[in-house]
A and B are shown apart, each in its own frame.
Chain A
């Protein structure tokens, strides 16, 4: 029987650190291979598609981890299926309440009935400071007909820019530089800068997309439909506020109406198939509210995300190696418990950071920590085999 050489505690620790580094590298190599498999083999592609739209941090909004306040500076008016003349009347009524900004999340692309068109035209001429909308698609600009475009410089783009292949709107872009070098503002940025012109220089810093800090769905805003505007009575909440006209369903808030409705992190179903949850105008209202309250979220850069992912993976692997070195009978069970605890803790920390206004992409960290712990046993077996074979 061969006698085991004496190894001091310090040497053991050094080997464990080295093991942890090597096992982390091994985990990244395995993750890379798995990623290539998922992306390139059509059979696995379904998993990649299923997880593409998933973010653990969506839990913060979907499960209402923090109480949502009511945005009192913004009032939404539901145009439902109203005619242009009715919209014109509503604008007149709202204008009498002296709001600070009026905005139309509507596009009157073509001319229709001359009589109703002229009524709308007259109202838009009377209130030329109304912020209007346009959108870009395949290089083309879709905007109001020239007859309704009283001040084109007051228009903002309503493209919401979810990331490529994603359908959940977590981020937005506030401005773009056109081919002619002009700065084009988004609809929300235009409204916010009309409300507070001092915001304009700050907005110019945002030439990339950034996360939206959602206040809530339409229940967190003052919403009115046309019937409520019919009464010739004052609506004090509109005085000095931002009033946005858009579509909020017929009737207002109907869950079965999905016209101009999109997926957001507030959707109660964070994975799998579900119905869209938020109307476009409410998304714009959330962005405006975020801008006027200056409650922006800082997103961790890709470099720091990769760095933290590697660090978290290393810590997980090191803890796994420590557990493995004790030769416990229940190692396989304990490693699963550890995977669960690591996941719960990481998501918890990411939610606390989000509350503090810092968004980190925690999903890769969770995946790498779980995978790293799973591979500790494989790594140790492989190391023993290689030691026997070559040393």
Chain B
């Protein structure tokens, strides 16, 4: 019995030693919302000590580095103890041989010459789908949505109060929506503009923006009541529901 106890103690000690022998990690990049045990948001350059736990929220990711320059990328939502973070070490992609012969093959089959060159400018692409331009939105549950482009993994939402100078830039990974109120403090009665780009350093002058005005629950109820009355009046006048929706959404009539 005594020897079993000694064995178990030794096993526990060696397990702990193994867990703590790994040096600390440093945060290299954070996208979205990643927090430590004290619920403090992690930022670039922070240390993740051996034995600690981190929490990754939806559409967020964490890249950290150890003292040998190895990288660990965690992208899925969840709580990760230190040992779990270490399991996400990035593996070497390919050897020189594979990469080189892949390159030679692409060159021989002319696959690398598909670059499109244009001689002109265009002022951004309208990807925004919800809320519609110039909508009035309830502060508490505002979610911005946009269309996805093929092959684009990450988007950056640019938003600012129309009176402010600086933009909030929200990185969104592998998703086409973001709950704004989780990131930006919104108050009723504010006018905002927002846009979406795949380029973190997009020139805002070249982006098309949608507007929205934040409203309170009270204001929302009164607008809803007014709209109900309008719908009733228009229905009585013989306007069909599709046309009523068009009028309410302030959309132009179909040609």
Q: Report A's interface with B, CB cutoff 8 A.
A: 59-60, 63-67, 69-72, 75, 222, 224, 228, 235-238, 251, 253-255, 344, 347-348, 351-352, 355
Contact = CB atoms under 8 A, between A and B. Distances in A.
Interface stretch (B43-51, B171-179, B188-196, B230-238): B43-51
Contact of A235 (B45, B70, B97): B45
B103 A224 contact: no
A222 B201 contact: no
B44 A224 contact: yes
Contacts of B45: 75, 222, 224, 235-238
B121 to A, nearest CB: 13
Contacts of B201: 251, 253-255
A352 B95 CA distance: 10
Interface string B27-43: 11000000000000001
Contacts of B44: 222, 224, 228, 237
A273 to B, nearest CB: 12
Given A236-B46, A344-B104, A72 B96 contact: no
B114 interface: no
B28 A63 contact: no
A70 B99 contact: no
Query: Which residue, A60, A67, A228, has most C-beta atoms of chain B within 10 A?
Result: A67
Contacts of A352: 96-97
B93 interface: yes
Interface string B78-103: 00000000000010110111011101
B218 interface: no
B137 interface: no
B94 to A, nearest CB: 8
Contacts of A228: 43-44
13 contacts: A63-B103, A66-B95, A66-B96, A69-B68, A69-B69, A69-B71, A72-B65, A222-B44, A236-B26, A237-B26, A344-B104, A351-B100, A352-B96
A348 B97 contact: yes
B73 to A, nearest CB: 12
A188 B49 CA distance: 31
Nearest to B47: A236
A264 to B, nearest CB: 19
Interface string B155-173: 0000000000000000000
Contacts of B70: 69
Contacts of A355: 96
A296 B178 CA distance: 47
Nearest to A67: B92
Contacts of B242: none
Contacts of B47: 236-237
Instruction: For chain B, give the interface size range.
Output: 20 to 34
B67 interface: yes
Given A222-B45, A251-B201, A72 B103 contact: no
A351 B96 contact: yes
Interface string B41-65: 0011111000000000000000001
A79 B27 CA distance: 22
A70 B100 contact: no
Nearest to B24: A236
B89 to A, nearest CB: 12
Contacts of A60: 96
A72 B100 contact: no
A175 B67 CA distance: 29
Q: Which of B96, B97, B101 has the most CB of A within 10 A?
A: B96
Query: Which among A63, A75, A238, A253 has the highest number of chain B CB atoms within 10 Å?
Result: A63
Contacts of A236: 26, 45-47
Contacts of B96: 60, 65-66, 351-352, 355
Contacts of A347: 100
Contacts of A254: 201
Contact of B99 (A63, A251, A253, A344): A63
B25 to A, nearest CB: 10
B168 to A, nearest CB: 13
B240 to A, nearest CB: 51
A236 B65 CA distance: 13
A235 to B, nearest CB: 4
Contacts of B27: 237
A149 B66 CA distance: 36
Given A67-B92, A236-B46, A251-B201, A72 B97 contact: no
A269 to B, nearest CB: 10
Contact of B100 (A65, A75, A222, A224): A65
Nearest to B65: A70
Contacts of B26: 72, 222, 236-237
A254 B200 CA distance: 9
Interface in B96-126: 96-97, 99-101, 103-104
Nearest to A257: B201
A63 B98 CA distance: 12
A63 B94 CA distance: 12
Contacts of B97: 348, 352
Residue of A60, A69, A75 contacting most chain B CB atoms (<10 Å): A69
A255 B65 CA distance: 25
B100 to A, nearest CB: 6
